[in-house]
């Protein structure tokens, strides 16, 4: 026995949430491009599974630009005003399973010793509903990093689109149950995700190679394909490196957290002029190490969900999957030698 | 929930110019209760901010027995350009203390060798001041400190004060001889050369070496030859940081986060880290 929700009922559920003051985030279209954004009217939402989005749901947990506090200078003293804490209910609907999977991966980072309330309060207030994938493309590689087209990691509920426009609902957490309670009908129809994307590289083997090859010339070689723009980090659901900068004037302003990218020269440039990662190769190495060695060392999880957003958005057809494929070649060679 | 990125407002108490482009600033918490309760360990660092301009990372370069914090900086970027202009009474921001520290307890009973070059004196100064305050707990103290010229020496007056303590050798040196007629009671040589001539030995001793990479590179073999083991040679690494809390993702050397697992490392630690500093 399954539970079915019609498209109309799903829309009504979201519309009711909007009326009750909740922040609802859903896929929307601008021309042909799909974006997750906060909606004010449920008819803005395009509620169907989709592979390509221009952004990740990450920004509704870890905004690209977020005020930490504001300040006003009063004579020689400075008054600091803390940023308000996020305290509205948030419903994120229509995420890809690989996008939602980033959330539990990022949890330990923001709770490591020091508790980052900005991420944590949004997490606590949010319910995440994913759509099981109906198609994959050449960029997808979730299967290589433990994901699947019907993965429920980070999801409170998963919806399987059915041919008649309705969805089979499978609740994962109490939050998911609360959202769909009384909204579904029992049925004998069940949904299914698409076949998992095929991959022909072994991420564990590559990670082992990375550990032993910090000084390999391969890093420079693969970086010739990278222009260092950092777009991959901005669309990545797991990239979380950030900058802290002041905005405003000397007398009045605010301090903000902004997304940053390890692919830019300035990221690690010392005031002295020394830069530990002075070449694009060193920066590509950092990116791949962070995802497949450092983060697993620190938090026992890969910092990659195999979503393919990086290579889909890359202006020069690079990204994590192409990099892994290149590294797989040398990892296999070194294993055979 | 507490905001971990929120600095405390600090009153600037004193500003001491050290060289043409280096100043030392003493600050206190505006909140007297916080000032009274603030504790840190020798070798830890903080993030100091000029509101409206930004934050920078510096070691806390005073001893932890005082009711103030001191830090030292070179005027070299956006934040330090503005820090240069602060005066007593002004307000700046502070977050910290962060990171690990020098194992001052474990060093008790041992001879201490401090080797510093240029602006790297401050991260060693805190350990020197602490050791001198607790003079009877430590053996012989040897301080080798050099800069490019006499005018580039930081804490110049203090060097002579430290030399007055019992069983303390202060070996000052400059790379370039001062113009004739300039008073200078130190040597004209590179730090590693002075270190080599200092008759130090690694028996029951630890060394703390902070300075430019070339100085460290040439000093290490001398320490090894003198009998120092990798576990007995300490340094304080610096890498660009934003949060200081292990989150912003830029100060790491491989899987080691300088802000959390550092900044203090032994030579043994560093040999196990990728060269990303």
- Look up the CATH architecture of domain B111-236: 3-Layer(aba) Sandwich (3.40)
Most distant CA pair in chain B, distance: 62
Helix (H) or strand (E) holding B257, with range, is strand B256-257
Residues of chain A contacting B277 with CB distance shorter than 8 Å: 276
Where chain A has pLDDT below 50, the residues are none
- Which CATH superfamily, name and number, covers B8-98? Translation factors (2.40.30.10)
β-partners of residue B8 are B94
**Any chain B CB within 8 A of the CB of A82?**
yes
**Any chain B CB within 8 A of the CB of A265?**
no
Q: What does the alpha-carbon distance between residue A278 and residue A264 come to, in Å, rounded to a whole number? A: 9
pLDDT at B212 over 90: no
Question: Per-residue b/e over A283-316, b at no fewer than 16 CB within 10 Å?
Answer: bbbbbbbbbbbbbbebbebbbbbbbbbbbbbbee
Distant-in-sequence, close-in-space partners of A163: CB < 8 Å, separation ≥ 6 = none
**Quick one: pLDDT at residue B179?**
92
B133, B117, B113: which is closest to B173 by C-alpha? B117
Domain count, chain A: 1
Nearest CB among B6, B30, B54 relative to A246 is that of B54
Average pLDDT over residues B60-69: 97
B247, B266, B246: which is closest to B258 by C-alpha? B246
**Domain presence at residue A182:** yes
Confirm if A234 and A268 have CB atoms less than 8 A apart: no
**Domain presence at residue A204:** yes
**Residue that is written with structure tokens 């206190």 in the block:** B28
B104, B115, B124: which is closest to B59 by C-alpha? B124
**Domain presence at residue A11:** yes
Confirm if A223 and A283 have CB atoms less than 8 A apart: yes
Query: How far is C-alpha A121 from the geometric centre of its chain's CA atoms?
Result: 17
Residue B21, burial from CB neighbour count under 10 angstroms (0-12, 13-18, 19+): middle
**Which tens digits make up the pLDDT trace of B145-190?**
999 999 999 999 999 999 999 999 999 999 999 999 888 999 999 9
**Domain limits for position A134:** 2-332
Determine, for residues B245 and A85 on separate chains, whether the beta-carbon distance falls below 8 Å: no
Question: Per-residue b/e over A203-221, b at no fewer than 16 CB within 10 Å?
Answer: beebbbbbeebbebebbee
**Quick one: pLDDT at residue B277?**
83
Cis-peptide, bond into residue B263, ω within 30° of zero: yes
Complex ipTM, two decimals? 0.92
**Quick one: pLDDT at residue B1?**
87
**Quick one: pLDDT at residue B276?**
81
Average pLDDT over residues B231-252: 94
Nearest CB among A78, A270, A298 relative to B91 is that of A78
Q: What does the alpha-carbon distance between residue B128 and residue B121 come to, in Å, rounded to a whole number? A: 10
DSSP state of A291: I
Confirm if A330 and A216 have CB atoms less than 8 A apart: yes
**Domain presence at residue A127:** yes
**Domain presence at residue A54:** yes
Q: Is the dihedral of CA A244, A250, A254, A259 positive or negative?
A: negative
**Domain presence at residue A187:** yes
User: Token pair of B263, please?
Assistant: 């900044």
A111, A123, A133: which is closest to A58 by C-alpha? A123
Q: What does the alpha-carbon distance between residue B248 and residue A267 come to, in Å, rounded to a whole number? A: 10
**Quick one: pLDDT at residue A112?**
87
Distant-in-sequence, close-in-space partners of B214: CB < 8 Å, separation ≥ 6 = none
**Domain presence at residue A9:** yes
Residues of chain B contacting A270 with CB distance shorter than 8 Å: 238-240
Residue in chain A closest to B87 (alpha carbons) equals A76
% chain B with pLDDT above 90: 95
Disruptive mutation site among A116, A271, A300 for chain B (greatest number of B CBs within 10 Å):
A271
Disruptive mutation site among B30, B31, B51 for chain A (greatest number of A CBs within 10 Å):
B51
Q: With bands split at pLDDT 50, 70 and 90, how would you rate the model's confidence at B128? A: very high
Residue B157, burial from CB neighbour count under 10 angstroms (0-12, 13-18, 19+): exposed
What totals of helices (H) and strands (E) does chain B contain, helices first? Answer: 7, 15
**Domain presence at residue A337:** no
Disruptive mutation site among A268, A299, A301 for chain B (greatest number of B CBs within 10 Å):
A268
Average pLDDT, chain B: 95
**Any chain B CB within 8 A of the CB of A300?**
no
**Which tens digits make up the pLDDT trace of A274-289?**
999 999 999 999 999 9
Query: How far is C-alpha A274 from the geometric centre of its chain's CA atoms?
Result: 32
> Model pTM greater than 0.90?
yes
pLDDT at B16 over 90: yes
Sheet of B45-50: strands edge to edge? B54-59, B45-50, B91-98, B8-17, B22-29, B69-74
Return the C-alpha torsion angle A103, A240, B252, A257, nearest 10: -130
Domain ranges of chain B: 8-98, 111-236
**Quick one: pLDDT at residue A272?**
87
């Amino acid at each position: 026995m399954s539970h079915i929700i019609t498209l109309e009922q799903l829309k009504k559920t979201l519309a009711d949430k909007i009326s009750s003051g909740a922040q609802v985030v859903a896929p929307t279209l601008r021309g042909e491009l799909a974006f997750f954004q906060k909606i004010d009217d449920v008819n803005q939402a395009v509620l169907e599974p989709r592979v390509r989005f221009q952004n990740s749901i990450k920004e509704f947990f870890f905004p690209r630009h977020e005020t930490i506090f504001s300040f006003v200078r009063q004579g020689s003293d400075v008054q600091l005003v803390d940023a308000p804490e996020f305290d509205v209910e948030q419903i994120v609907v229509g995420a890809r399973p690989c996008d939602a999977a980033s959330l539990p991966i990022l949890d330990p980072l923001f709770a490591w010793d020091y508790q980052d309330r900005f991420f944590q309060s949004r997490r606590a207030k949010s319910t995440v509903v994913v759509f099981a994938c109906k198609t994959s493309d050449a960029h997808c590689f979730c299967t290589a990093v433990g994901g699947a087209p019907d993965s429920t990691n980070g999801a409170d509920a998963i919806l399987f689109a059915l041919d008649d426009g309705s969805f089979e609902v499978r609740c994962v957490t109490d939050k998911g149950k609360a959202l769909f309670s009384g909204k579904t009908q029992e049925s004998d129809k069940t949904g299914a995700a698409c076949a998992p994307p095929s991959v022909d590289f072994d991420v564990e083997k590559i990670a082992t190679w990375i550990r032993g090859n910090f000084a390999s010339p391969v890093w420079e070689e693969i970086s010739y394909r990278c222009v260092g723009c950092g777009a991959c980090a901005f669309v990545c659901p797991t990239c979380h490196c950030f900058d802290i900068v002041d905005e405003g004037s000397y007398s009045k302003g605010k301090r903000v957290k902004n997304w940053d990218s390890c692919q830019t020269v300035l990221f690690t440039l010392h005031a002295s002029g020394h830069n530990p990662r002075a070449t694009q190769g060193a920066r590509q190495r950092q990116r791949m190490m962070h995802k497949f060695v450092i983060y697993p060392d620190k938090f026992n999880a890969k910092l990659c969900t195999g979503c393919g957003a990086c290579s889909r958005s890359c202006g020069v057809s690079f990204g994590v999957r192409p990099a892994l494929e290149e590294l797989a070649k040398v990892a296999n060679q070194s294993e055979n030698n | 929930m507490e905001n971990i990125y929120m600095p405390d407002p600090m009153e600037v108490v004193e500003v001491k110019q050290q060289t043409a482009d280096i100043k030392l600033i003493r600050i206190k918490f505006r909140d007297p209760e916080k000032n009274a309760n603030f504790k840190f360990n020798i070798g830890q660092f903080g993030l100091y901010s000029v509101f409206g301009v930004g934050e920078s990372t510096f070691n806390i370069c005073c001893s932890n027995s005082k009711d103030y914090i001191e830090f030292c900086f070179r005027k070299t970027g956006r934040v330090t350009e503005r820090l240069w202009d602060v005066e007593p009474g002004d307000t700046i921001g502070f977050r910290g203390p962060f990171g690990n520290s020098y194992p001052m307890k474990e060093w008790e009973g041992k001879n201490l060798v401090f080797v510093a070059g240029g602006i790297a004196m401050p991260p060693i100064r805190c350990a020197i001041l602490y050791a001198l305050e607790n003079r009877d707990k430590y053996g012989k103290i040897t301080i080798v400190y050099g800069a490019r010229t006499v005018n580039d020496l930081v804490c110049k007056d203090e060097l002579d004060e430290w030399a007055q303590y019992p069983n303390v050798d202060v070996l000052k040196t400059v790379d370039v001889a001062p113009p004739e007629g300039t008073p200078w009671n130190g040597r004209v040589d590179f730090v590693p050369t002075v270190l080599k001539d200092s008759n130090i030995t690694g028996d029951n001793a630890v060394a703390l070496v902070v300075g430019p990479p070339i100085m460290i590179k040439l000093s290490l073999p001398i320490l090894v030859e003198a009998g120092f083991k990798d576990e007995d040679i300490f340094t304080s690494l610096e890498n660009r940081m934003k949060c200081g809390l292990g989150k912003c993702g830029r100060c790491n050397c491989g899987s080691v986060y300088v802000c959390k697992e550092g900044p203090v490392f032994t030579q043994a630690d560093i040999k196990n880290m990728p060269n990303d500093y």
